[in-house]
Structure 1
Amino acid sequence: MRTYRIWDPFVRLFHWSLVIGFTANAFFIDDDSAQHEWVGYAVVALIALRLVWGLIGPRYARFASFWPRPQGIRDQLSDLATGRRRVHLGHTPLGGVMILNLLGTILLLGLTGWLMTTTAFWGVEWVEEAHEALVLWAEFSIVLHIAAVLWESLRTGVNLPRAMVTGRKDMPDNARIAP
């Protein structure tokens, strides 16, 4: 096994804090409570910090390191279709798509949630429906994300959940690392 330090402490703390905040608001905190609002603001603040870190953080935290490019996506889809086992040190191209999807979805959740507290949009049906649809989309995306992480872990032999806890990816000695 070869070990690579990939995820810095901020990325890991952001990831697990986002998991806790979203899960709390989606499943445990009353939607009409002030606590729901404050957790929502905290989640948006986390994403704002992550956006900054995506510009100034270390190599694998930067958006430039995982911005999904069409060729990278085609290569990863080809790997999946043919059974080729290439591993990525940072996020995969499809993982990059999911990150952008989740960041955008949760920011839109924050926006629609905030709009529901304003005088102009309080009680406006389309805002509440958009907020609820975004929650469903986020939940679907998160389930897909978890399934993909587990699938890639099994397929490549790299324990991705552990890497997001420890910051280190343990790569099999025979692993082909994608460019």
Structure 2
Amino acid sequence: MIRVWDPLVRALHWTLVVSFIVCWLSAQVWEDLHAWAGYVAGALTLARVVWGFGGGGYARFAQFVRAPRVVLAYLGAIVRGSEARFVGHNPAGGAMIVALLIVVAATVASGYALTTDALWGSSGAQHLHSWIAHGLALLVLVHLAGVALASLRHRENLVRAMIVGDKRAPAPDDVA
């Protein structure tokens, strides 16, 4: 076993998970809690972006953000059942992380905009926020499906890895 996910990445990940769940469950029920959970999500996202540039190893964007053609080739390999195992994020996972960070930021920004004088009570802005949030929920579901698929295909529990930080050391055919 080797250490892949550092404590900060894991803490940011799981705290963002809790924040997302709180936001989802409190929407239109408990407005203050919803707003505060959204602000927490925004702060966590900002911290993850900073850590993506300043962190080490597998936390760095440079380690897992790939060109679109590489991501598409990896998705094709998944369809064929021939995708390589990556010790860190695979190309599809890296693209999903970027997409999730962008859409969380857009959700937070659109939610905050609803508190400004210019957009207070704007049904159009409220609908936009709702659409972005539903898009985020869809991305979360796709992310979970990808984690489940990769866990099955590569016979390793990726949820456990994100809890404890360790993954199986790379084999000769794996991408470190």
Q: TM-score, normalised by structure 1?
A: 0.91
CA contact (8 A) 1:86 1:178 kept: yes
How far the C-alpha of 1:37 sits from its partner, in A, is: 1.1
Q: Over residues 111-142 of structure 1, what are the superposed CA-to-partner deviations in whole Å (9 max), with x where a residue is unaligned?
A: 11111101111111221111100111111111
How many residues of Structure 1 are paired with residues of Structure 2 in the alignment?
176
Change (3 A) 1:134 1:29: closer
Unpaired stretches in structure 1, ≥5 consecutive residues:
none
How far the C-alpha of 1:85 sits from its partner, in A, is: 4.7
* Residue matched to 2:76: 78
Letter in 1 for 2:23: N
Q: Over residues 50-96 of structure 1, what are the superposed CA-to-partner deviations in whole Å (9 max), with x where a residue is unaligned?
A: 11111110111011111121342144123213322521011011111
- Percent identity over the alignment? 35
**Aligned partners of 1:134 and 1:60: how far apart in 2?**
29
CA contact (8 A) 1:158 1:172 kept: no
Letter in 1 for 2:152: L
* Residue matched to 1:97: 95
**Aligned partners of 1:47 and 1:98: how far apart in 2?**
14
**Aligned partners of 2:13 and 2:73: how far apart in 1?**
26
Please report the RMSD computed on the Cα atoms of aligned residues, expressed in angstroms. 1.8
**Aligned partners of 2:83 and 2:101: how far apart in 1?**
28
CA contact (8 A) 2:45 2:101 kept: yes
Letter in 2 for 1:176: D
Q: Which runs of 4+ in 1 moved over 6 A?
A: none
Greater strand percent: which structure?
Answer: 1
Q: Over residues 94-115 of structure 1, what are the superposed CA-to-partner deviations in whole Å (9 max), with x where a residue is unaligned?
A: 1111111111111111111111
**Aligned partners of 1:144 and 1:124: how far apart in 2?**
30
Letter in 2 for 1:45: A
The SS at the match of 2:167 is strand
Letter in 2 for 1:160: L
Q: TM-score, normalised by structure 2?
A: 0.92
Q: Over residues 3-57 of structure 1, what are the superposed CA-to-partner deviations in whole Å (9 max), with x where a residue is unaligned?
A: 1210000000000000000101101465552221111111101111111111110
Unpaired stretches in structure 2, ≥5 consecutive residues:
none
